[in-house]
Amino acid sequence: MYKGRAFPKILVALVLTIRCLACPPDLSKCVSQDDYRSNFKNLIAENPNYFGNAPETNQPSVIPLSYDTQYEQLVSIGFNPILSVLEATIEIKLDYGFDGVLCTNGSFEYVRFYERYGPLWYQWTDLGAVTVNTHDILDSLDCNKASVFPLFYVLTLPFQPSTQSNCELPRLPEIRAILSWDQLPPPSSPYFPPTWGNALDQYIQSPTLPLPPPKVDFISRALSEENIRKELRTPKERFHYSPSNADQQQVLSHIPSSATTLSELPRPGSPSNIIFEELIGLGLDYNLQRLVATIRIKEPKGYGTGNCGNGTLEYISFWADWYNTCDWTYLGQATINVHNLPDIPPGGVAYSAALPVDLRNVSHICNTTQISRVRAALSWNVPPPEPPKTARRGNWLQVHVQIPPNLNSSNLTAPEIFTIGGVLIEDIDVKLSGLTLPDAAYAFFYKPSASTLQPLPVDIDWAYGQSRPCPFGGSIYITGPTVGTVPQPSGPNCDVGPSQYQYRVVYRPFGSTLEPHPVLNSITPTQIYSPGYSTIQPLNSQGYFYYLPLECNIFGMLSWWLPATGGLYQIRLELATQTSPSGQTPVTYKTEGTTDWYNITVNDIGPSGTFVPTNEPVCGTFPAGTKLTGTLTAEAPYFGSYYAGVSNSAIKVVIDGGTDINPGFTEIPCVPWTWDSATAPPCGYVAGLEVCDRTIYDSVPYEPGCIQVGGFGFCVGPALGM
């Protein structure tokens, strides 16, 4: 409305001037919100309670300020049951106040999620936090002469709710999300009031386990007079639904549509269209390169069947105007399976659907802002028409999104590997040792309970300041981008045809001059369609695969490598086209390109240790004041750490007279240990030793190579003479 938003800024300045005229003589207190925001980190570093949202510090509040949403706002929460993720959509409203333009550090928007359900209804469980980087982005006009603000971003958190085992009793947990600008909401603080940001509560539905046939009493209740009356309040079209209903036949074109001049609208669609379901959120998760739409189910009935049946589908189709030309390109379609519920909670039940998008051709260098328009259209039971037409039941949204910078590839037809074993290629010494580099981190995991969201280091003992090279072990997953053109899935499945290129991963022992071996394991990529995954076999004994469309491989899984033995290996990705006629065997290929050979060290020897007592008490009991003694060893080819301890006791195990620390991070040969029971109350105890190595097992941080040894029990009785 106002180009560059100059007029609102003048009003803000006028208000602040009037406020300052009434200020006390201390002019330092006359500070605008923009100044508070630009100095935010310094202010809360000196006084965490500066804005009044940390009273537990017992420091005085200077400027009470919380839940301010003039800069950003959390607008929707949804749960994607196929991908098992929570999605938060946020709106960036202003072109300033984010600590710098692109190519600078900017600022961060944090969202922390909580869940509550069941007997502990009053108790929120902390699920973790996610973040997105935001910047000052100059306001401009799109091809329809409308401001590009607000911008919509999506933040995604993996979440696996408890599965409902009884389809007659749907499980509807409540989710709380707290948005906070440039300050990570503290853990286990569901009532934390952010200075800038807000909180939303939203019910979701847990997935249902496979179920037996309905019981007779369930059928009789479903056909009861009361339930029939409830159903009769549902429009007939929802009770006797059919995909062949008139005016619902809409064939989606994959060809870019002609330009339209429809301006931005918050929720297009007449009120009668959104009685049962409504599209309430749309944005881009530019960390994961996905468009995410969130819908709200508003009524308990009208969705075909309950959870014991098939229910019906909500269709969501996506379009984009990537280059601000007012030409729309159809991107694809996602579906959400919905069912009747016994009752609907306040605010309905929210679901999300995601469509992966390849932004490499749309991205840009960091000093150039790329803003695009995207649309999503919702329709119950049949695919929606293309906007501005509106489905009989549903609506559509159109928003602006920021394309992340620096995604351009120098050659989009060249093979590329992103991660090996969960670690980015650039964090691995692929030229020499094949181990991770110092300060290497997992590509998709964050440190728990940190003041800011930081990548999780691969060293298992990072919390103790350790950062050592790590090898790989177990299942080593290899990911990378799709190359060339791929067939689009027809309908909600991933039965797709040949891609332009085929690829394979090959490996060989380091120094070998023999032909490399192809990786022949099947892969199980994650897809946006139910059941959320599919198993893909290699095309032949040469190990080639077709590239899959993004909808069918949202994490870019290329290969699953399980080396038979440890050692230093070399692997590479090969790109090829088939040269032999279809049906001919053996199939022949022409190699179109390869990556470099990457060195990878594989470890298949785990840690070992001993923990032996030398004065084990007679009958397992000894008097308080006795020192329990023994010897221990802790070893591993890639040693991580050891810890000797006694359960149920805070008394330390002393190793080698205190020469060796406990816990420790270097191997220990056979050394003595002692445990002094002088202050131990009479009780039963268990002594043992844990030894860990630092191998990255199965490509994730949750499979550490640790063993427990010793583990003998004993009792401490009263001291002698007592």
526-554 pLDDT, tens digit per residue, is: 998 888 888 999 999 999 999 999 889 98
44-85 pLDDT, tens digit per residue, is: 999 999 999 999 999 999 999 999 999 999 999 999 999 999
547-580 pLDDT, tens digit per residue, is: 999 889 989 999 999 999 999 999 999 999 999 9
Which DSSP state fits 215? P
Query: Comparing 226 with 713, which gets the higher pLDDT?
Result: 713
Q: What is the mean pLDDT of the chain?
A: 85
Q: What's the CA angle centered on 72, arms 70 and 77, to 5 degrees? A: 130
Q: How far apart are CA 695 and CA 680, in angstroms?
A: 37
Considering the entire predicted model, what is its pTM?
0.79
331-352 pLDDT, tens digit per residue, is: 999 999 999 999 999 999 999 9
pLDDT of residue 230: 44
* Full DSSP string of 368-398: S--EEEEEEEEEESSPPPPTTS--SS--EEE
pLDDT of residue 234: 56
pLDDT of residue 239: 53
pLDDT of residue 502: 96
Question: Among the listed ranges 407-411, 581-585, 664-668, 699-703, which one has the minimum average pLDDT value?
Answer: 407-411
> SS3 string of 422-487?
CEEHHHECCCCCCCECCCCEEEEEECCCCCCCCEEECCCCHHHCCCCCCCEECCEEEECCCCCCCC
- For the chain, the 3-state helix, strand and coil shares in percent, each to the nearest 5, are 10, 35, 55
Q: Which two tokens stand for residue 584?
A: 């001919």
Average pLDDT estimate for 388-411: 84
Quickly tell me which residue has 């694809």 as its tokens.
332
pLDDT of residue 620: 77
pLDDT of residue 365: 77
Would you mind telling me the total number of residues written for the chain in this entry?
Answer: 722
Percent of the chain with pLDDT over 70: 84
Instruction: Specify whether domain 264-402 bears CATH 1.10.10.
Output: no
Q: Per CATH, the architecture of 72-203 is what?
A: Sandwich (2.60)
Average pLDDT estimate for 373-396: 94
pLDDT of residue 645: 94
Looking at this protein, which amino acid is placed at residue 256?
Answer: P
Fold for the domain defined by 608-717: Immunoglobulin-like (2.60.40)
Is residue 510 a contact partner of residue 435, using CB atoms and an 8 Å limit? no
Q: How far apart are CA 574 and CA 442, in angstroms?
A: 25
Q: How far apart are CA 437 and CA 540, in angstroms?
A: 36
pLDDT of residue 465: 92
Same fold, 264-402 and 608-717: yes
Average pLDDT estimate for 521-525: 95
3-state class of 710 per DSSP?
A: strand
pLDDT of residue 13: 35
In this structure, which long-range contacts are made by residues 242-246, counting pairs with CB atoms below 8 Å and at least 24 apart in sequence? Answer: 243/381, 243/382, 245/381, 245/382, 245/392
pLDDT of residue 453: 74
Average pLDDT estimate for 471-497: 87
Which DSSP state fits 208? B
Average pLDDT estimate for 592-598: 97
Q: How far apart are CA 436 and CA 601, in angstroms?
A: 9
pLDDT of residue 654: 96
Domain residue spans in the chain? 1-29, 72-203, 264-402, 419-435+471-602, 608-717
271 pLDDT band, cuts 50/70/90, is low
